[in-house]
Amino acid sequence: MTDATTDTMTDRANSFRNQPDEQGHFGDYGGRYVAETLMPLVLDLEREYRAAQADPAFKAEFDDLLEHYVGRPSPLYFAERLTDALGGAQVWFKRDELNHTGAHKINNCIGQILLAIRMGKTRIIAETGAGQHGVATATVCARFGLPCVIYMGATDVARQQPNVFRMKLLGAEVIPVTSGAATLKDAMNEGLRDWVANVHDTFYIIGTAAGPHPYPEMVRDFQSIIGIEARAQMLSRVGRLPDLLVACIGGGSNALGLFHPFLDDPEVKMLGVEAAGHGLDKAHAASLTGGAPGVLHGNKTYLLQDEDGQITEGHSISAGLDYPGIGPEHAWLKENGRVEYTSVTDDEALEGFQLLCRTEGIIPALEPSHAIAAVAKVAKTMPNDAIILANLCGRGDKDIFTVAEALGVEI
Amino acid sequence: MTRLANAFAKPALVCFVTAGDGDTAANLDALVEGGADVIELGMPFTDPMADGPAIQEANIRSLAKGTTTADIFAIAAAFRARHPDTPLVLMGYANPMIRRGPEWFANQCEAAGVDGVICVDIPPEEDAALGPALRAKGVAPIRLATPTTDAARLPQVLNGSGGFLYYVSVAGITGKQQAAMASIEDAVARLKAATDIPVAVGFGVRTPEQASAIAKVADGVVVGSALVELVAEHGEDAPAALRELTSALAHAVHSAR
């Protein structure tokens, strides 16, 4: 064995970017906790994904659609007035809210629908909470002419009518889910029930970096375009890497998309921001900060649950963060200490939302408003030459009604 | 011979009800009195993603009454005391089973006289999460085979499994349509050629006629949703209806060959 080979192997062993293992485990987390009916499917999906990864034509089509349909690369933006207002580190944003459909979700949907077509699947299903992933899925289904069924909790259907209408305009069938608490986790249960009954022709586009292997890895890979672009843009604009990355976390796909390409840059610190809702001692959606390890929806990860392992409801003003679990790679990154995790309350997120509106003329979604609130806390503790890069993963048009209600404004 | 092996010496009727739904002790007694050979006690879970509406609602009814894991083991232990010879298996989802660690769960099973455990969302690939702990305590990890389990995969499903093999006859959720009898016959023949442990068939079995047809080829017939629907309809007064349906099913199964 040559020295070079030894070095390579050592590098790989020491890398934070070599997960999951062959069984889909990120340390103790992840895996394939699915019913036997689905097991041959997820194995098949993994085989097909590996083949697609090795096929330059697949990557070429993905890249082409990201550039010409989604509008990538998204800009890297120095938020000068926000930086001045906070008084501390420079704040930069990766502008994924400028993507087609207004959020990062579309990156993953493009990748998965190309895989579905490659596998010969003729029907697409997905779950959605706030409706952003549902809209992104309905969008790619319209683009590729595939029938699309979106499962959405009946509670969410009632409070996210604009997105329900968007999905219908795009030709999707939206099925309200009344089982359980009628929110995102119940929509995911119903998606799995559909999949198990329609295994021969149906592809399930999961919207976040969770679910059975290979979904967490695959969604992360498709979203990594965020961090790959940001890393190159940062080097080209300021000639060095940022000191701190910040991103909000529900399931955690936008955060992993930003973080993953930087994981082996030891000088870059990372902060994941969960939704503390009304507060960690009250109703919240902070699975890592306020949950415990368990198994749900195909993977082992941190979950909001009671002492008997029954899943409890998450709460956040942001419907996109309102999920009682988190992607398994985040559980692993928390335990090995590579990423730090914190949480931000509804009220703090609302302040972050308004701060960005007024200082930068950008209306952010409530999800990245959590990241902005965290940035506001840490920027002032850092020197003026330090650089924070936060992911602006969605725009806030969808949230204006929620924000108006929270601020006591009638529109 | 273990209780489970004894039960499958002739075609066996396996009956499922959800723990904490209705008067569970009385419901279980009614199943045994009606002629059930094996009892499957469902552990309620907030997110039963492999179940259809009937069992989903039973889970919700049970959890709404505050059923805890301790309550379920108390029901199992009391059943064992009343019915020393009738095998009892727990069926449910991984999270409530591993919440306090797999060893804790296996110890509780052993102490309560539970013969086997069916965990819907622990496939053989994730066996380490629960299987070794169960086997160490002599509790059978009962695996599921489905129409999507092909010949290449079957040995992996059988490796480490015990008690009986539960053939899920339709790719889908519980309580929906039954598979065509011809496909069940083919599948059971294929499974029995690959293993010596008994093969029971479930999902979508509702009537004595269906049960009789399956019992002609399989070692066991599992009925769940049809029984759970009786609990939904009759509530605390379900035992009489359960006894009646179980009796008809048991007669069909036991006289099939």
- Secondary element (H or E) of residue B251: helix B238-254
- pLDDT tens readout for residues A264-314: 999 999 999 999 999 999 999 999 999 999 999 999 999 999 999 999 988
Kindly give, in sequence order, each residue whose CB lies less than 8 Å from that of residue A190, ignoring residues fewer than 6 positions away. A127, A151, A175, A177, A179
3-state SS, residue A31 = strand
Statement: residue B96 has pLDDT above 50: yes
3-state SS, residue A203 = strand
As for the ipTM of the complex, it is: 0.96
* pLDDT at site B1: 53
- pLDDT tens readout for residues A147-189: 999 999 998 898 788 899 999 999 999 999 998 778 889 999 9
DSSP A97: G
Least Cα separation, residue B34 to chain A (angstroms): 31
Minimal CA–CA distance to A268: which of A216, A227, A329, A224?
A: A227
Q: How confident is the model at residue B174 (pLDDT cuts 50, 70, 90)?
A: confident
The A residues from 158 to 197 touching B (CB cutoff 8 Å) are: 179-180, 185-186, 188-189, 192-193, 196-197
Place of tokens 């009454």: B65
What does pTM read for this prediction?
Answer: 0.95
* pLDDT at site A276: 97
Cα maximum dimension of chain B: 47
Query: Which residue among the candidates B23, B29, B33, B51 is catalytic per the annotation?
Result: B51
Cβ-Cβ contacts under 8 Å, B148 against chain A: 36-41, 199
* pLDDT at site A154: 93
Is residue A24 a contact partner of residue A32, using CB atoms and an 8 Å limit?
yes
- Domains of chain B, residue spans: 2-254
Average pLDDT over residues B62-85: 98
Average pLDDT over residues A355-382: 98
* pLDDT at site A12: 62
Omega of the bond prior to A293 within 30 degrees of 0, cis?
Answer: no
Intra-chain end-to-end CA distance of chain A, in Å: 70
- What share of chain B has pLDDT > 70, as a percent? 100
Active-site residue, B57 included: no
Statement: residue B103 has pLDDT above 90: yes
CA–CA gap between residue A126 and residue A177 (Å, rounded) = 12
3-state SS, residue A87 = coil
Q: Among A90-99, A262-271, B8-17, B166-175, where is mean pLDDT lowest?
A: B166-175
Mean pLDDT of chain B: 96
* pLDDT at site A209: 96
CA–CA gap between residue B218 and residue B211 (Å, rounded) = 10
CA–CA gap between residue B29 and residue B221 (Å, rounded) = 19
Mean pLDDT of chain A: 94
Place of tokens 């009986």: B164
- pLDDT tens readout for residues A40-98: 999 999 999 999 999 999 999 999 999 999 999 999 999 999 999 999 999 999 999 99
Q: Are B98 and A39 within 8 A, CB to CB?
A: no
DSSP A90: E
Residue of A nearest to B97 (CA): A309
- pLDDT tens readout for residues B21-54: 999 999 999 999 999 999 999 999 999 999 999 9
Disruptive mutation site among A29, A42, A193 for chain B (greatest number of B CBs within 10 Å):
A193
* pLDDT at site A58: 98
Q: How confident is the model at residue A137 (pLDDT cuts 50, 70, 90)?
A: very high
* pLDDT at site A180: 77
CA–CA gap between residue A344 and residue A356 (Å, rounded) = 16
CA–CA gap between residue A255 and residue A216 (Å, rounded) = 12
- What share of chain B has pLDDT > 90, as a percent? 92
Active-site residue, B185 included: no
- pLDDT tens readout for residues A301-312: 999 999 999 999
Kindly give, in sequence order, each residue whose CB lies less than 8 Å from that of residue B245, ignoring residues fewer than 6 positions away. B34, B226, B227, B230
* pLDDT at site A11: 59
Strands (E), A221-280: 244-248, 269-277
Architecture of domain B2-254: Alpha-Beta Barrel (3.20)
Statement: residue A247 has pLDDT above 70: yes
Intra-chain end-to-end CA distance of chain B, in Å: 23
* pLDDT at site A181: 77
Least Cα separation, residue B146 to chain A (angstroms): 6
* pLDDT at site A121: 97
Nearest to B49 among A23, A189, A310 (CB): A189
Q: Around A347, how many Cα atoms within 13 Å sit in the side-chain half-sphere?
A: 3
Dihedral angle sign, alpha carbons of residues A148, A153, A154, A157: negative
Place of tokens 């965290």: A374
CA–CA gap between residue B146 and residue A136 (Å, rounded) = 33
* pLDDT at site B173: 86
- Cβ-count burial of B54 within 10 angstroms (0-12 exposed, 13-18 middle, 19+ buried)? buried
